[in-house]
């Protein structure tokens, strides 16, 4: 199934918002549509991971070396949220402990970014992919293979994004402001896909807080969890994210690999997903009694 396309009927307000965002981001040192972004960032080792940070003012930082500045670089880009790789729902569809997630606390919501197929953002998307590939090459581990899961699709023209849904209560308090203003965003009130998981959520609320996806609609309002799919799936968005690299040792017969994680910082909807064509959607009526003669030579009509 292909992603919804934006046609010439895109409302002028959305087109203007897209243009304004593109012009604004183009002035940023960390816009992936600019080749010069590679000169503004560097990989630095922190613990067992390598994080992409803002390069120091001196410009003498070495890749994967220690620097005096450890502010993570916030990369920006305009993309379409890929319809075919969308798992950014209430709780990622969690139903019970599994190989993927041993418990609800481990749930991570994911989606993929692809070409916005709408100018002017479409024209720089190839540069976006080229820059991300260059950043990968800068931190490869000798003897390790490039892990799967970051670049998606046969052409590798889509990249995966994630959001960690829960954090321990002792790790920051950024989401406290949201829950204080709106109890619907509180952990204990968070909607779930399967009601049988609610007891686990209630227990989890004593040790963790939910972190809503930092996604905002065209009006600038935080998108509610029930609306994640209808608001984001197929939308053209302004995306802000940071990048982390992990060198994963081989185990149980698997080869060692380099893994990359793009963590969402902000998503701002510029052009909402295109609604289904109303002329193709006909209200269905189920009759109480069937007339066999009415079925003869009957054809489906559109419109």
* 244-286 pLDDT, tens digit each: 999 888 777 778 878 899 999 999 999 999 864 333 445 555 6
| Token digits of residue 111 | 């989606």
So what's the pLDDT on residue 290? Answer: 67
- For the full predicted model, state whether its pTM sits above 0.95: no
The pLDDT assigned to 117 comes to 86
Pure H helices in the chain: 12-26, 125-137, 176-181, 198-204, 228-232
**What is the predicted pLDDT for the residue at 291?**
62
For residue 260, the model assigns a pLDDT of 93
- Measure the CA–CA gap between 65 and 59, rounded to whole angstroms: 13
List the one residue out of 145, 148, 152 whose CA is nearest residue 250: 145
Query: Average pLDDT, stretch 278-299?
Result: 54
Residues in the chain: 303
**Is 243 in contact with 262 (CB distance < 8 Å)?**
yes
Is residue 176 over pLDDT 70? no
Please provide residue 40's backbone torsions phi and psi, each rounded to the nearest 5 degrees: -105, -5
CA dist., res. 211 & res. 82, Å (int)? 22
- Give the angle 267-194-283 at the CA atoms, nearest 5°: 75
What is the pairing mode between strands 236-248 and 215-216? unpaired
> Closest Cα partner for 239 from 5, 13, 33?
33
- State the pLDDT at residue 278: 38
pLDDT given at position 276:
44
What is the pLDDT at residue 235?
97
- The band of 155, judged by pLDDT with boundaries at 50, 70 and 90, is confident
Q: For residue 281, what pLDDT is reported?
A: 45
Q: Name 268's bridge partners.
A: 216, 238
Q: Specify the higher pLDDT residue, 254 or 7.
A: 254
Q: Does the N-terminal peptide bond of residue 185 adopt cis geometry, omega within 30 degrees of 0? A: no
Per residue in 107-137, pLDDT (tens digit) is 999 999 999 988 999 999 999 999 999 999 9
For tokens 């069937």, name the residue.
Answer: 290
The reported pLDDT for the residue numbered 11 is: 73
- Residue 5 is predicted with a pLDDT of 39
The pLDDT of residue 39 is above 50: yes
């Amino acid at each position: 199934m292909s992603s919804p396309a934006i046609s010439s009927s895109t409302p002028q307000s959305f087109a203007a918002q897209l243009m304004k965002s593109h012009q604004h981001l183009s002035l940023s040192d960390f816009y992936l549509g600019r080749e010069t972004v590679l000169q503004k960032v560097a990989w630095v080792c922190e613990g067992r991971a390598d994080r992409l940070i803002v390069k120091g003012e001196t410009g003498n930082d070495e890749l994967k070396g220690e620097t005096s500045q450890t502010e993570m670089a916030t990369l920006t880009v305009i993309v379409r949220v890929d319809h075919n790789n969308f798992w950014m729902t209430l709780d990622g569809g969690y139903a019970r402990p599994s190989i993927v997630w041993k418990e609800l606390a481990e749930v991570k919501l994911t989606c993929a970014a692809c070409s916005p197929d709408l100018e002017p953002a479409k024209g720089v998307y190839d540069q976006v992919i080229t820059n991300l590939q260059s950043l990968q090459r800068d931190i490869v581990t000798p003897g390790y293979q490039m892990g799967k899961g970051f670049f998606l699709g046969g052409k590798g023209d889509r990249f995966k994004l994630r959001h960690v849904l829960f954090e321990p209560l002792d790790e920051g308090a950024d989401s406290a402001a949201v829950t204080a203003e709106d109890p619907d965003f509180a952990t204990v009130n968070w909607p779930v896909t399967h009601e049988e998981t609610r007891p686990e959520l209630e227990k989890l609320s004593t040790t963790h807080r939910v972190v809503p996806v930092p996604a905002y609609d065209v009006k600038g309002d935080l998108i509610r969890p029930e609306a994640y799919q209808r608001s984001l799936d197929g939308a053209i968005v302004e995306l802000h994210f940071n990048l982390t690299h992990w060198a994963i040792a081989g185990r149980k017969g698997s080869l060692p690999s380099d893994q990359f994680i793009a963590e969402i910082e902000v998503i701002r909807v510029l052009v909402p997903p295109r609604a289904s064509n109303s002329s193709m959607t006909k209200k269905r009526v189920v009759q109480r009694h069937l007339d066999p003669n009415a079925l003869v030579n009957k054809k489906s009509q559109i419109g």
